[in-house]
């Protein structure tokens, strides 16, 4: 659908009293393509007209929202299903397997992914004096209901695609609002754990960053634990708590 046609549809919707939905917005920018990476940093829009096979990749800290359809994510032995009513958040880099399970030509899967800026999250926490809610580690992935305020913020973020000259100034403000809603919502404790310096989850997140940047190097688990400031046994325990995976490496083999 081209821009003129979309404008006509929008006008018709307004005349009928139907508000423009997140699905409408994503449908516009993904017409004729499976993915749209626009000028808003970290924001990607997705469209699929058929269910997909399972696909594995490394998912960075992200918020995944769906306007229409349904998707399933596997981490270890656990499966997480999300749709237009539930969003998925990851707070650390995770090797996941995903599959779109509900999509058709008439009702395509329409979703988005926004990479989370953890430095921005830490700044929002500091500026709002948000205390750490729970001392225990939190698994780095979860599904929660989409609140109207969070949905509204995302719609305004996508609206900026219409006004690229405003993105540099306004996009960071909307992204801060999104992070604020996350911090104050059900996933707040999870995000606070990862962004709180000295917390075990924070140390594991930094170790994962190091592994991602040095995946081709040999390293003993003891060395990685030392980098995180933890004993080997504590590192194993906290790593599994955050990622739902075990990490094995020795002096002769790479971590895996």
Residues 84, 138 share a domain = yes
Last residue of a domain, one of 195, 212, 235: 195
Residues 221, 105 share a domain = no
Q: Is residue 253 part of a domain?
A: no
- pLDDT of 250 reads 36
Show the domain range for 168.
21-195
pLDDT tens, residue by residue, 226-252: 666 666 766 666 666 566 566 654 333
Per mean pLDDT, which range of 3-17, 159-173, 212-226 is the poorest? 3-17
pLDDT tens, residue by residue, 43-90: 999 999 999 999 999 888 999 999 999 999 998 888 999 999 999 999
184, pLDDT greater than 60: yes
Q: Is residue 37 part of a domain?
A: yes
Report the CATH number that the domain containing residue 117 is assigned in CATH.
2.60.120
Tokens of 153: 């913020």
Residues 60, 36 share a domain = yes
Last residue of a domain, one of 195, 210, 232: 195
Last residue of a domain, one of 156, 175, 195: 195
Q: Is residue 15 part of a domain?
A: no
1, pLDDT greater than 70: no
Q: Is residue 8 part of a domain?
A: no
Q: Is residue 89 part of a domain?
A: yes
Q: Is residue 12 part of a domain?
A: no
> Please, what is the Cα angle at 239 between 222 and 132, to 5 degrees?
120
Residues 232, 174 share a domain = no
- pLDDT of 16 reads 60
97 or 58, greater pLDDT: 97
Angstrom distance (rounded) from CA 176 to CA 170 = 10
Residues 125, 46 share a domain = yes
Q: Average pLDDT over the chain, rounded to whole?
A: 80
Q: Is residue 167 part of a domain?
A: yes
Q: Can you tell me the mean pLDDT for 215-234?
A: 66
Q: Can you tell me the mean pLDDT for 207-219?
A: 64
Q: Is residue 1 part of a domain?
A: no
Residues 99, 132 share a domain = yes
Residues 170, 45 share a domain = yes
104, pLDDT greater than 50: yes
pLDDT tens, residue by residue, 22-45: 999 999 999 999 999 999 999 999
Question: Mapped to the 3 state alphabet, what secondary structure does the chain carry?
Answer: CCHHHHHHHHHHHHHHCCCCCHHHHHHHHCCCCCEEECCCCCEEEEEECCCCCCEEEEECCEEEEEEECEEEEEECCEEEEEECCEEEEECCCEEEEEEEEECCCCCCEEEEEEECCHHHHHHHHHHHCCCCCCCCCCCCEEEEECCHHHHHHHHHHHHHHHCHHHHHHHHHHHHHHHHHHHHHCCCHHHHHHHHCCCCHHHHHHHHHHHHHHCCCCCCCHHHHHHHHCCCHHHHHHHHHHHHCCCCCCCCCCCCC
Residues 206, 120 share a domain = no
Residues 205, 191 share a domain = no
Q: Can you tell me the mean pLDDT for 187-201?
A: 69
Decide: 38 and 30 in contact? Cβ < 8 Å.
Answer: no
- Angstrom CA distances, 25 to 6, 29, 132, 212, stand at 9, 7, 36, 34
Into how many domains does the chain fold? 2
Residues 41, 150 share a domain = yes
Residues 129, 37 share a domain = yes
Query: Where does the pLDDT of residue 208 fall: very low under 50, low under 70, confident under 90, or very high at 90 and above?
Result: low
The pLDDT > 70 percentage for the chain reads 66
- pLDDT of 255 reads 40
Query: Where does the pLDDT of residue 164 fall: very low under 50, low under 70, confident under 90, or very high at 90 and above?
Result: very high
Residues 149, 125 share a domain = yes
121, pLDDT greater than 80: yes
142 or 255, greater pLDDT: 142
- pLDDT of 77 reads 83
């Amino acid at each position: 659908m081209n821009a003129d046609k979309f404008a006509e549809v929008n006008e018709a919707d307004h005349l009928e009293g139907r508000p423009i939905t997140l699905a409408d917005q994503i449908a516009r920018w993904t017409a004729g393509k499976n993915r749209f990476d626009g000028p808003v940093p970290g924001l990607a829009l997705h469209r699929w007209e058929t269910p997909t096979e399972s696909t594995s990749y490394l998912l960075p800290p992200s918020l995944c929202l769906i306007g229409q359809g349904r998707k399933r994510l596997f981490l270890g032995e656990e499966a997480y299903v999300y749709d237009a009513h539930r969003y998925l958040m990851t707070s650390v880099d995770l090797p996941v397997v995903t599959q779109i399970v509900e999509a058709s030509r008439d009702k395509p899967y329409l979703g988005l992914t926004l990479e989370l800026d953890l430095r921005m999250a830490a700044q929002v926490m500091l500026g709002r004096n948000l205390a750490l809610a729970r001392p225990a580690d939190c698994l780095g992935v979860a599904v929660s209901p989409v609140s109207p305020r969070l949905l509204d913020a995302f719609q305004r973020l996508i609206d900026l695609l219409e006004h690229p000259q405003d993105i540099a100034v306004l996009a960071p403000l909307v992204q801060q609002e999104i992070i604020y809603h996350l911090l104050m919502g059900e996933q707040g404790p999870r995000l606070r754990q990862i962004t709180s310096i000295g917390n075990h989850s924070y140390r594991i997140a930094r170790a994962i960053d190091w592994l991602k940047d040095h995946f081709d190097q040999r390293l003993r688990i003891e060395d990685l634990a030392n980098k995180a400031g933890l004993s080997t046994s504590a590192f194993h325990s906290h790593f599994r708590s955050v990622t739902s995976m075990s990490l094995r490496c020795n002096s002769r083999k790479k971590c895996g």
